[in-house]
Amino acid sequence: DYTSNGSIQIHLFRDRLEIINPGALPLGWSEERLKKPHTSIPFNPLLAEPMYLKGYIERMGTGTLDIVRIAKEFDLKEPVFLQEEYFKIIIFRPTAVEVEGVNPTSTPQVPHKYTASSVGVPQEFRRSTVEVRNLLKALGNSGMSRKEIQQVLGLKHEGNFRENYLEPAIKLGLIEMKYPDSPNHPRQKYLITKKGKELLDDL
């Protein structure tokens, strides 16, 4: 809404990301329509056109569908779209499986043979997060550099990747460095360990 003095707000919480936009949905549209195939109706075609030509947007009305699809692929709760005073989207973040009992939002991440009451639940699985498990899936049985792993996962921020993916996986003994005595080795690669392979087989 270009007549509004409001600004876009981004709030990051432990369990979710909230994006608030002072704009509104096209006339007659509902939040549920954003979860189904729909047309693209940009409020500013002059701005949308160069963004489309540069490849930043598709101009096909697929943005919200992609958000819902990607959340489902990563076993996250379905995003929420809200049209109130402002338009708000809530994207839920991955949560760790707790040691005592299973967090409801994380239940789909636990292999069927490992339930909350199972005595044989591996400690590594209890402590691992969705990020670590996604890292293991991306790494597979091949060694990769940090940049290669980030490319596979579609992550651009190195700090976030190291803090939430790489370092936890190393601490849990799920992956290891090819050159452990030289962390900054120019040909450094990360390899999945035997423990990591066992966990990966259960994902």
Q: Hey, what amino acid is at 105?
A: T
Beta bridge partners of 82: 88
Residue 115 has pLDDT above 50, yes or no: no
Domain ranges for the chain, please list them: 9-92, 104-201
Tens of pLDDT, residue by residue over 186-199, are: 999 999 999 988 88
How far, in Å, CA of 149 to CA of 171, rounded? Answer: 18
Residue 96 has pLDDT above 50, yes or no: no
The reported pTM is: 0.43
Instruction: Provide the edge-to-edge strand list for the sheet that holds 16-21.
Output: 9-12, 16-21, 87-92, 80-83
Pairwise pLDDT comparison (127 vs 151), residue with the higher score: 151
Residue 169 has pLDDT above 50, yes or no: yes
Q: Would you say domain 9-92 falls under CATH 3.90.105.10? A: no
What pLDDT score does 119 carry? 38
Task: Give the architecture (CATH level 2) of 104-201.
Answer: Orthogonal Bundle (1.10)
CB-count exposure of residue 192 (10 Å: 0-12, 13-18, 19+) = buried
Tens of pLDDT, residue by residue over 120-149, are: 445 544 445 778 888 888 887 778 999 999
